Amino acid sequence: MKRKNVIITVVFLLSLGWGFGSICVSHSRTFSENENRVLTQFPAFSLDGVLSGKWMNDFESFAEDQFGYREFWISLKARTELLMQKQENNDVIFGKENTLLAKTSETVNQTNVTALRQFTENNPDLEITCMLVPSSITMNAGLITKPYPQSMEPEVLAQLQQLNCHWIDVYSALYGKENVYFRTDHHWTADGALYAYMAWRSEKGLEEKSFADYTYEKLTDEFKGTIWSKAGAFWMEGESLWYYFNPEVTIVCTDESGNTMEGYVDPSYLDTKDKYGAFLSSNHAVLNIETSVKNGRSLLIVKDSYANILIPLLCEEYETIEVFDLRYNKTKVSEYAKEHGITDVLIVYQLDTFVQEPSVGFLR
């Protein structure tokens, strides 16, 4: 027993020494492609920082991010969790059919519910439509291999649907459908967006359409999403990324900095880890979209990134679309709509994001 403890201690100290040594001799990396995030750099030294403990906290983050062969150890940890018969790692569940499922929150930020209620009550002249999309784990519960608490999202959605706006029944539109969520990402696929779009058309009394009415374009077969990174499942292969659009409609996008782009896709993102960012060149505080549809109709979309793969479909029904992301834009939505003569507002979020994201509280 004593010999075993000595061996464990020696291995631990060697690993610790090797890790510390790798930090000291290696160049700091600034970005992790697999994790799709900026890595912590060596903190500037200050006596105040040491005395307050902030410097040590920052150094700990630096050491964790710059640890030698970091991504190997992240992946090894994930594999070890699976070998130990655990079904999750870093709040991501490893489901059947090589599907990763992000866990959802068990609480609701009531500030966000209040914000939506007040927005609808204070703006009776706006036609407000809500499209809140259930999470993959809610719609794909059958892929979970072990008992897991039932999702609260149906109850949360029922609560929200008591508010006075037009609701798109996304749950029914996606229920029982295949290929509506990615295996490695928290977003819905273009198929999921198109099913929801057809439900939106039905709610608006527009002509019924089908998949055959749109052009399909595949962007890559190497898409590896956010929960692939979070789970450390770096051994899993990528998947296809695609979208649908009306080929008779052309668009020009202008962002808050005046940068313009023709079309729905920024191909520069396809050479990066963040391939989903190719849609509309990722997220913007505000994005103006002018289409070739000359019908005088305008739409204001308040959204998270779930809307980015849906917007190419909406473009066939509007001459102008203004896109707001409240994470980066605190402009009062109702005033902006009135100033620009917009009467239609569409709110598009993943449901779990909508009830948790603090910026939703700025909806007014």
Average pLDDT, the chain: 87
- In DSSP terms, 288 is beta-bridged to 254, 322
Q: How large a percentage of the chain has pLDDT more than 90?
A: 68
| CA–CA–CA angle 140, 141, 147 (5° rounding) | 155
Residue entry with tokens 């057809």: 198
Q: Give 37-71 pLDDT, tens digit per residue.
A: 666 776 776 777 666 777 667 666 665 555 555 66
Can you list the pairs that 116-122 forms with residues at least 24 positions away whose Cβ atoms lie under 8 Å? 116/160, 116/163, 116/165, 116/347, 116/360, 116/363, 117/163, 118/364, 119/333, 119/334, 119/363, 119/364, 120/163, 120/164, 120/165, 121/164, 122/334, 122/364
Average pLDDT (315-324) is: 97
Domain map of the chain by residue range?
A: 2-98, 109-362
- In DSSP terms, 287 is beta-bridged to 255, 323
pLDDT tier, 17 (very low <50, low <70, confident <90, very high otherwise): low
Strands 320-324 and 298-303: parallel
pLDDT tier, 6 (very low <50, low <70, confident <90, very high otherwise): low
Q: What are phi and psi of 182, to 5 degrees?
A: -75, 155
Task: Name the 3-class secondary structure at 219.
Answer: strand
Task: Name the 3-class secondary structure at 247.
Answer: coil
Q: Which of 155, 118, 116, 112 is nearest to 134 (CA)?
A: 155
* Cα distances (angstroms) measured from residue 135 to each of 104, 175, 181, 298, 330: 8, 12, 9, 29, 26
Average pLDDT (237-251) is: 97
DSSP 268: G
- Supply the pLDDT for residue 28: 64
pLDDT tier, 284 (very low <50, low <70, confident <90, very high otherwise): very high
| CA–CA–CA angle 327, 333, 338 (5° rounding) | 160
Range picked from 28-32, 87-91, 355-359 for highest mean pLDDT: 355-359
Give the full edge-to-edge strand order of the sheet including 88-89: 88-89, 92-94, 100-102
Contact predicate 355/156, CB 8 Å: yes
DSSP 112: H
Q: Give 101-152 pLDDT, tens digit per residue.
A: 999 988 889 999 999 999 999 999 999 999 999 999 999 999 998 888 888 8
